[in-house]
Structures are given as C-alpha cells and as structure tokens.
Amino acid sequence: MPTILYRNDQNISPGDVMKIAVYADYVGRQCYDDFADDGSRSRSEGLSRRAQAVSDSLDFGNEPYLSPETTKKVLDLHNMVSGMCFDRFDERGHMGKTMDLLGMAQDVDDVLDKFVIYHLSPDELEEAEAEWAHEGQFIPKNAIGDDKDARPTV
C-alpha cells in the first residue's frame, strides 16, 4: 500500500468541493455493488454509508478545507466505486460504468491530486512501473503523442 500524505496548502475551491459532493450523491443514488445470482442488484450498506459520510463531512464555505479524515473518506469511496461498483446495466446481465460516472470520478481524481501525495516503497514502485509498461503497450502511440509519457506521475 502506498503511503498517503496530505498537503497543508490544499488550494481547493468551492467548485472542487461541489464536484466531490455531486459524485458522492450520484454514487449514493445510482451505483450498485451487491449482485445476486438471479440478476438482482442492490447497494451495500458499506457503499451507502461511505457516500453519506463523504456528503456529511464536506465544507461548503468560501475557503473550503478538507481534513485528512474527510480526504480519507473521499479516497475510500473513490476506491470502492472504482472496483465492483456499477451504474449501467443491460438486459443480458452486462454491468458497466457510464461516461457520467467516469467523468465524475476523473473530476474527483483531479481535486485529490491537488492535496494528496502518494509515496511508493521501492517494491511498489517497481511493481507499478512494470504494470505501466504492460498497460502502455495497449495505448495507441498517436493517442498520447510522441513526446508524452503515458505513466501517471508519482
């Protein structure tokens, strides 16, 4: 697990807080993470509780601040949603994530990047670089340009 550090100077806006709030609200209403063999779906208590905890802990003031505890709640929800949590279903049992959910998740990533720092151990860094190299072979070269590196910065 990477070590997560929080910057004191968050430099986030009320709009950034609203992005997190919209994401938490959407997840709490539209996403499902419990699936039965008969094809039924439900929202687990854990997912509902995490979405509500994020909503309850947000600061909507003119100069918002996200405490490390609130940030951890946002990260926990984000990690849960990025796993086995879906908001699109078709008749044949296919589950997926809509572009709306993916866009909101990217917005939350962008906000978190402003004040969350990830430190990887040497073993984690080596594993991540191997994964990036493996995943990088599936990205068309013209999609990222010749002079850009497809790996996220750590």
The Cα 98–Cα 113 span in angstroms is 23
pLDDT tens readout for residues 43-64: 889 999 999 999 999 999 888 8
Q: What pairing do the DSSP bridges indicate for beta strands 34-35 and 41-42?
A: antiparallel
Amino acid code (one letter) for 46: G
pLDDT tens readout for residues 84-114: 899 888 877 788 899 999 999 999 999 998 8
DSSP 85-148: -BSEE-TTS-EE--HHHHHHHHHHHHHHTTTEEEE--HHHHHHHHHHHHHHHTTS-HHHH-TT-
